[in-house]
Structure formats: structure tokens, C-alpha cells
Amino acid sequence: MPELPEVETVRRGLEPVMQGARFAAVEARRRDLRWPLPSDFAARLQGQAVTGLVRRAKYLLVDLSSGEVLLMHLGMSGSFRVAHDCGQRTHERTQHLTHDHVVFHMSNGARIAFNDPRRFGSMKLIRRAELEQEPLLRALGPEPLGNAFDAALLAGACAGKKTSLKAALSDQRVVAGLGNIYVCEALYRARLSPKRSAATIATRGGGPNERAQALVEGIRAVLNDAIAAGGSSLRDHKRTDGELGLFQHHFAVYDREGRRCPRRGCGGTIKRIVQGARSTFFCPVCQR
DNA sequence: AAAAGCCCCTGGACGC
DNA sequence: TGCGTCCAGGGGCTTT
């Protein structure tokens, strides 16, 4: 499921119920997520206050009063659902869903359940002082919505690459947070073919060209639009309140094989190809 | 070092 | 209705 807009939507849903609250109790109903949870996982969270909740790429980082950071990734099918432990209709609101693997009971009465059928998601506790050295975060490229991300940076990261532009944008070391959907949609907005060599958005010296600029604008625009819509809901993604994101209704190319290209005057037909064992959707007429 | 495969896991859609 | 097959929004690890 979740790419940057969905993870950001989850972060915004969790923030009001986590920020400033303490972990009153933690249930690790299954410890075999992507990696096993440590045996003292619940004990290290219990009693800690949340002092911050930020997103980095597709990771969520929960700052704890203990000086540790709870690092979480939703994998392909992870989601959070917020309910309340107290109040009437408690039974109905807090019913257990299949694949609720971890449940946080917060001091403010919020019950936060992490649900993940495929268990590609992960949770990890690390010392805040060691965040810089964390292997999962260390190699991540720039935040696409951050100030540092621009055409020069993207062109520099693509210069000399032997891979396709699709593969380069999917590489979290080049730019952090895009996945299969938003790579396809960003390339569409920039009118660039996913098959194009990544190196062609840089000049010989590694500097940016007009394609890099268009791509940066396409990436930022599609991510901002998707966040504003609450992300995309295909199979799994739901917001923390259980509502669906709406951006899937605005896909130009993703999962639209055979449909007419929505660009005015284009008239092309959306095509599906396979790159790196994953589907790519694009318009072969206006994306070059 | 970079790039390409392999694999983790469950469930939904589809064809027969 | 029941099966088998394929596919899915990610990314770490291993192999080339």
C-alpha cells in the first residue's frame, strides 16, 4: 500500500492521539512482523510519553521520553486504526480485527491497532543518539517535498546511472518516498517515458536539464495533490479513522491500461509494461 | 560499486 | 462452490 502520501496521511491521523500521550499498555499479539519484535518491546514502550511524531520517506518515527525512537514501516499492507478504549459502545469500537498484530493503549484512552495481513511491515526501537547511524535510514535520499530537493540534486543522483528512469525514481537512495504508483504518475506529469535512461535527465556534467526540472515539479505536485486527498485507497490503505483516501480517482495512468490518456489533445492509450518485475503504466504518445 | 534477482506473506480477482 | 494461478502499493539481502 503505502507510499509517501499514505504514510503522511497516517502520520497526521496518529499525531493528535499520540503526541503528548503515554503508552499505558502495549499488546504485541504477534511478534513476527518483517523482523521479530524484541522480547522487551512492550516493556520499553510502556510508560513512555510521545514527544514527537515525524515521517521520513515511508517510515514513521515516534520520539519517546526514554530517549528511544520507535521506527515503523507499513510495508505493503500495513495500516493503523484509532479507536477509544473508554466511552459507550466500547465493545463495538474496539473489536479485534484479524491481523491486528500490535495494539497501543494510550493514556488518553486511544486504542491504536496496527493491522498488517502480509506482515511486510516492521517496528524497531533504537536509541535517538544512534538515529544517524541507523542502517534503514542512512542511505535514504532527499525528501521530495523538502527544500533541498531540486533539479540539480535529482540530476546529480541520476547522472551516470545505467538504469531506467522508472527504476531510478523507485530507488529510495535517489529520492525517498516514491513507490510504484507515484513514480508512474510523476513521470506522466513530467511527460517523460519510464523507459528513458535515467542519465538523460542530467547533462554530461551531471547538472540538471529541463527534464529534471519538469520531473521535480511533477513529483512535488502529485505528492501534494495526493496528500490533500488523504492518499490513495486501493486494497488496504485506510486512514486512521477508517475513511478511504480519495486520490485513486485522480490517477492519470496507474492501473488504467487501455484507457484513453487524459491529457487534452493527446489521444494516446495507456500502456502497461513490466520493469523490474513490477507494472509500469504510461502514455507512449505524450511521455517521451 | 551498481544492478538484477529472490524472497518474505496473505488475500483478492480471475479462469476453469 | 471449489480449486489453482497470478498479481498486489515495499524493501532487505544475495548474487552477478
pLDDT tens, A132-157?
Answer: 999 999 999 999 999 999 999 999 99
One-letter amino acid identity for A15? E
Measure CA of the first residue to CA of the last residue in chain A; give whole Å: 28
Q: Which residue has the cell 503515554?
A: A22
Q: Under DSSP, is residue A22 helix (H, G, I), strand (E, B) or coil?
A: strand
Task: Please name the nucleotide lying closest to A34, CA to C1'.
Answer: B8
* Nucleotides, chain B, CB distance < 7 Å: 2-12
Confirm if A144 and A175 have CB atoms less than 8 A apart.
Answer: yes
Instruction: Give the integer Cα–Cα distance in Å for A238 and A116.
Output: 12
pLDDT in tens, A44-95: 999 999 999 999 999 999 999 999 999 999 999 999 999 987 654 444 456 7
Measured from the Cβ of residue A32, the count of other Cβ atoms closer than 10 Å reads 9
pLDDT for res A235 = 76
Instruction: Enumerate domains of chain A plus CATH numbers.
Output: 4-133 (3.20.190.10), 151-282 (1.10.8.50)
Average pLDDT, chain A: 95
Nucleotides, chain C, CB distance < 7 Å: 7-13
Is the CB of A274 within 7 Å of strand B? no
pLDDT over 60 at A24, yes or no: yes
Reduce the DSSP state of residue A134 to 3 states and report it. Answer: coil
pTM here is: 0.97
CB-strand contact A185/C, under 7 Å: no
CA of A86 to C1' of B1 (A): 55
The one-letter amino acid at A205? G
∠ CA A17-A18-A20, nearest 5°, is: 110
**Which residues of A are tagged catalytic?**
2-3, 58, 278
